[in-house]
Chain A
Amino acid sequence: RKEVEQDPGPFNVPEGATVAFNCTYSNSASQSFFWYRQDCRKEPKLLMSVYSSGNEDGRFTAQLNRASQYISLLIRDSKLSDSATYLCVVNNDMRFGAGTRLTVKP
């Protein structure tokens, strides 16, 4: 089993839709969790950290489920500008998942 696995995607959704991505991890001792966003031919940029109690930033909500060993990212009211690849990072060793590609269409 890979250390970090993500929904393969791609996700193609209309503007205004709600979309959710999951990311599972194998190391039960993992402590640090992040969601990054990567635009085409650009470097990854931090979208949000994931806290044990869950956290929200505007239209974005991140949650952690330690029992099932996964993190999730929920995007509400999708915008065209949300089109990107979303990468999860788990553990202190900063290993990335393969990424989930999201395309928001008019």
Chain B
Amino acid sequence: EAGVAQSPRYKIIEKRQSVAFWCNPISGHATLYWYQQILGQGPKLLIQFQNNGVVDDSQLPKDRFSAERLKGVDSTLKIQPAKLEDSAVYLCASSLIRVSEAFFGQGTRLTVV
């Protein structure tokens, strides 16, 4: 079974630039999560989708971050404009239903310079 796919794996941008990350969850998984993990910290939930609807985006910095999940499958996370403190690994995960275990992609390592 294919896992969660993310791209790109690495991205380096200058502050104030824009960046987008893409995630393809495991087939059939209704729930999709985006996390931000800063070095030395646990993953911080940014947004949770159930199919194509947002369940929880309380920790998403909406002034610069946006996410969508078109047709309830793939998802994109965008940062515009980026700040130095956005440097982190952005992890996408999916689960069959909300209460079941989540499976993670390899993440996108973002460096903002």
> B-contacting residues of A (Cβ < 8 Å)?
6, 31-32, 34, 42-46, 49, 87, 89, 92-99
**B21 contacts chain A at the CB level, 8 A cutoff:** no
Most chain A beta-carbon neighbours within 10 Å: one of B33, B41, B91, B101? B101
Indicate if the CB atoms of B99 and A92 lie closer than 8 Å. Answer: yes
Q: Total A-B pairs in contact (CB under 8 Å)?
A: 44
Shortest Cβ distance from B107 into A: residue: A43
Say which size band chain B's interface belongs to: 20 to 34
**B106 contacts chain A at the CB level, 8 A cutoff:** yes
Interface string of B75-113 (1 = CB under 8 A from A): 000000000000000010101001111111111000000
Shortest Cβ distance from B41 into A: residue: A98
CB distance from B2 to the nearest CB of A (A): 15
Shortest Cβ distance from B31 into A: residue: A94
Q: Contacts of A34 on B, CB cut-off 8 Å?
A: 101
**Bound form: Cα–Cα A83–B102 in Å:** 22
